[in-house]
């Protein structure tokens, strides 16, 4: 049985019931006609909008201040409408569908351009997650909230318990799309953002979904039994949707061999390529599939874990596309949906997490995307404007920037850097000057990184006892790593990827020049083999001063945060940075370059020490930059142990580093896009994990 995705407009040929006239017979299951992809079945392209226009109340994305009560086990409704004189609600009876743009009987009339496959021996309007219940049958606004399971006191009949009280509330329908999503998949800041920002947005009353590939057989991801057919390259591919509900967010995973065959066990967690710096040859197909599947998910997944929302997200959706992997998403939205009247009110915000990775491919690969030629200019790019021209390319990030409604990045200072010139804008600075760009600093997961409850550290602490606990944690760290145990020796730590962007080569060049000071240096990270060897040699040269660990170890990272005195961040560029936020949470001032989010989050003399800007060219270790690092380290060591340093520790620990503040700025930014039905949310704390939040959706 195929899923239509939308339903036909109300008409007098369909059953319509007044509130005072409950239907006598409802069919719990709905027959749905098959639906096919327009690229393979062009004869089924939709009719122009306007030929079947639903009534005004059916088109309205919300009816403010309405209350609908539905009692389980009986056919009875009560209703209040304060804004519109709506006297009738449309219900689905057996053999008919309600809504608009769908099918009646067996005659296809659809605005969909995907085929959805049915896997169960039941007939449902949306396949895979559950059968529709009475609440779903009512034509409700997409952001209706179930706020209570009880009626007023004294009116409830125990034998007639209400299924739910539905009210129309505030908030947006937001869908974050990305190639990574912590904790399921992560190589850097992108995964952290998609892991931490969505729960904070959900806490503010918005309905939030994330869509990412299913790289592994995640134990908390449940099979929805929903499949869709997508055209990828010159083939029609079937994708399956997995789902779990955590911290108020619908986490959706796209299941396909293009992702799952490259599982963690076989590739060591290499999401983008077999080794660092090398892409998989089919990355264009993989992420084209991700973009198309992400556009389907809000329409065809009938989700029902939340206390406040149920059913599909609908079409009034705010998509947040992240980095080059999602660059074609706004193009697919326009060409395959909005041109046929679907997602008319949807908007796309494109978020740049690191402009150095742009998704540049040969220009001859454009046909693989199955996009109309009118989008070719958005992808068109000449690689190497200040170097010998390498050839004509397509640039996925450029297309995402141009075709999206707004562009945002992960810190205000980084936004300024991206338009400052080619060195920082990486040949897209002119495009960004044309479109404009907003910067919003990231938050961090204050639950995972909490020194008061950290299970990995020897002595837990907060701002009130940090000066007592820090020396104990330092001694435990020194003993574990084989360094001389002395609480009076300042410890400088570097945690991160060993690559040129992070400036680990600059730090390696500077260490021999300041190691004669009373100091110890700890390095934790993996990356390029050349840099790993260089740091290992430093450990051999200074065994009582340097400890280098070239395999990432999460417990050790927590121990370092609790025991170190200073963090070294020598990044050539840093869009936002997370390590400095984690360091502040644990009372560690940073020694950092003045770039990107480091400039926004670390304040000179208050929460850290600034090295200043350095040469962004990753092919050169500038001697002047090495001297800047040496001088700043020595300056920080002079302050160490003084009352001023103790005050800096307190300044670090008393900041609000959570996602709450950034989430409100994201809300304001998304509202500025003007999506239909979008309203400001509420001020609230994150939704705590629920005991049953990860069970399969009923």
- The 3-class SS string of 134-195 reads HHHHCCCCCCEEEEECCCCCCCCCCCCCEEEEEEECCCCEEEEECCCECCCECCCHHHHHHH
Q: Is position 496 within any domain?
A: yes
Same structural domain, 101 and 229: no
Same structural domain, 485 and 598: yes
CA distance 82 to 283: 52
Whole-number pLDDT of residue 137: 33
Same structural domain, 165 and 179: no
Domain boundary residue, one of 137, 169, 201: 169
Burial of 8 (0-12, 13-18, 19+ CB in 10 A): buried
Taking alpha carbons only, the member of 422, 425, 403 closest to residue 414 is: 425
Domain boundary residue, one of 638, 653, 668: 653
Same structural domain, 164 and 181: no
Same structural domain, 107 and 195: no
Whole-number pLDDT of residue 152: 33
Q: Is position 380 within any domain?
A: no
- Rounded to 10 deg, the angle between the 643-653 and 466-481 helix axes is 90
Range of the domain at 199: 173-359+397-410
Residues 6+ apart with CB under 8 A from 43: none
Whole-number pLDDT of residue 187: 83
Same structural domain, 4 and 142: yes
Same structural domain, 483 and 573: yes
Whole-number pLDDT of residue 683: 58
Residue 216 belongs to a domain with what CATH number? Answer: 3.40.50.2000
Judge whether 398 and 327 are in contact, CB under 8 Å.
yes
pLDDT > 70 in the chain, percent: 70
Domain count, the chain: 3
Whole-number pLDDT of residue 391: 81
Same structural domain, 471 and 587: yes
Same structural domain, 189 and 332: yes
Whole-number pLDDT of residue 1: 41
Q: Is position 447 within any domain?
A: no
DSSP code per residue over 463-513 = TTTHHHHHHHHHHHHHHHHT----TTS-EEEEES-BSTTTTHHHHHHHHHH
CB atoms under 10 Å from CB of 635, counted, come to 12
Q: Is 439 helix (H, G, I), strand (E, B) or coil?
A: strand
Sort strands 173-177 and 207-213 into parallel, antiparallel or unpaired: parallel
CA distance 418 to 541: 40
Same structural domain, 208 and 64: no
**Span 511-551, pLDDT tens digits:** 999 999 999 999 999 888 999 999 999 999 999 999 999 98
CA distance 246 to 478: 38
Query: What's CA 62's distance to the chain center, in Å?
Result: 26
**Span 97-112, pLDDT tens digits:** 323 233 323 333 333 4
Query: Whole-model pTM?
Result: 0.75
Domain boundary residue, one of 104, 137, 169: 169
Q: Is position 450 within any domain?
A: no
Same structural domain, 177 and 165: no
Same structural domain, 177 and 314: yes
- Averages of pLDDT over runs of 10 residues in the chain (698 residues) are 39 35 36 41 40 38 36 37 31 29 32 47 33 34 32 34 36 95 88 94 94 91 94 96 95 93 59 82 95 97 81 92 98 97 96 95 95 97 68 94 98 97 93 97 94 97 97 98 97 94 96 97 92 95 96 92 98 95 98 97 98 92 96 98 98 96 96 72 56 44
Q: Is position 665 within any domain?
A: no
């Amino acid at each position: 049985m195929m899923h239509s995705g939308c339903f036909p407009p109300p008409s007098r040929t369909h059953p319509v019931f007044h509130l005072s006239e409950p239907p006598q017979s409802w069919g719990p299951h709905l027959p749905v006609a098959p639906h096919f992809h327009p690229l393979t079945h062009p004869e089924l392209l939709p009719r122009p909008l306007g030929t079947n226009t639903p009534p005004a109340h059916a088109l309205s994305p919300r009816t403010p201040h309405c209350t609908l009560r539905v009692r389980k086990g009986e056919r009875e409704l009560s209703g209040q409408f304060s804004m519109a004189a709506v006297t009738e609600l449309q219900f689905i009876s057996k053999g008919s569908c309600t809504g608009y743009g769908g099918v009646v009987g067996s005659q296809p009339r659809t605005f969909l351009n995907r085929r959805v496959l049915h896997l169960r021996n039941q007939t449902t309007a949306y396949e895979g997650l559950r059968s529709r219940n009475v609440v779903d049958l009512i034509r409700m606004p997409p952001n209706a909230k179930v706020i209570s399971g009880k009626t007023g006191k004294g009116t409830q009949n125990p034998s007639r318990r209400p299924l739910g009280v539905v009210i129309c509330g505030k908030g947006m329908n937001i869908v974050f799309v990305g190639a990574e999503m912590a904790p399921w998949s992560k190589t850097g800041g992108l995964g952290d953002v998609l892991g931490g920002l969505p729960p904070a947005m959900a806490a503010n009353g918005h309905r939030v979904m994330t869509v990412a590939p299913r790289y592994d057989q995640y134990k908390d991801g449940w099979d929805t039994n929903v499949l869709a057919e997508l055209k990828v390259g010159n083939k029609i591919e079937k994708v399956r949707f997995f789902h779990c509900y955590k911290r108020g967010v619908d986490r959706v995973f796209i299941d396909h061999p293009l992702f799952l065959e490259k599982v963690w066990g076989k590739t060591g967690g290499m999401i983008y390529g077999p080794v660092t710096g090398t892409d998989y040859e089919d990355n264009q197909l993989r992420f084209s599939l991700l973009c198309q599947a992400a556009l389907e998910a809000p329409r065809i997944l009938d989700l029902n874990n939340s206390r406040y929302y149920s059913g599909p997200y609908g079409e009034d959706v705010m998509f947040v596309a992240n980095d080059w992997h999602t660059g074609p998403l706004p193009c697919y939205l326009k060409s395959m949906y909005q041109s046929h009247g679907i997602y008319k009110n949807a908007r796309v915000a494109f978020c740049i997490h690191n402009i150095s990775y742009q998704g540049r491919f040969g220009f001859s690969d454009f046909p693989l995307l199955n996009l109309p030629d009118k989008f070719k200019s958005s992808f068109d790019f000449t690689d190497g404007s200040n170097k010998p021209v390498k050839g004509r390319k397509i640039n996925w990030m450029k297309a995402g920037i141009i075709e999206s409604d707004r562009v945002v990045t992960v810190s205000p200072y980084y936004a300024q850097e991206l338009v400052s010139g080619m060195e920082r804008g990486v040949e897209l600075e002119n495009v960004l000057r044309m479109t404009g760009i907003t910067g919003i600093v990231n938050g961090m997961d204050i639950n995972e990184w909490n020194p008061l409850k950290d299970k990995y550290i020897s002595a837990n602490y907060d701002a009130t006892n940090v000066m007592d606990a820090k020396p104990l944690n330092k001694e435990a760290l020194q003993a574990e790593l084989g360094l001389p145990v002395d609480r009076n020796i300042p410890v400088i730590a570097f945690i991160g990827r060993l690559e040129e962007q992070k400036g680990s080569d600059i730090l390696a060049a500077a260490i021999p020049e300041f190691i004669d000071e009373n100091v110890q240096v700890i390095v934790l990270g993996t990356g390029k083999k050349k840099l790993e060897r260089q740091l290992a040699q430093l450990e051999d040269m200074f065994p009582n001063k340097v400890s280098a660990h070239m395999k990432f170890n999460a417990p050790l990272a927590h121990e370092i945060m609790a025991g170190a005195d200073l963090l070294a961040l020598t990044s050539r560029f840093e869009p936002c940075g997370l390590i400095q936020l984690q360091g502040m949470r644990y009372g560690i001032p940073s020694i950092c370059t003045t770039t990107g989010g480091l400039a926004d989050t670390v304040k000179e003399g208050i929460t850290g020490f600034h090295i200043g800007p350095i040469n962004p060219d990753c092919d050169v270790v500038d001697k002047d930059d090495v001297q800047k690092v040496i001088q700043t380290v020595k300056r920080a060591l002079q302050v160490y142990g003084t009352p001023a340093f103790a005050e800096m520790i307190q300044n670090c620990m008393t900041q609000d580093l959570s996602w709450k503040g950034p989430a409100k700025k994201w809300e304001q930014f998304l509202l500025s896009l003007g999506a239909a039905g979008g309203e400001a949310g509420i001020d609230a704390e994150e939704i705590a994990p629920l005991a049953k939040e990860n069970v399969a959706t009923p």
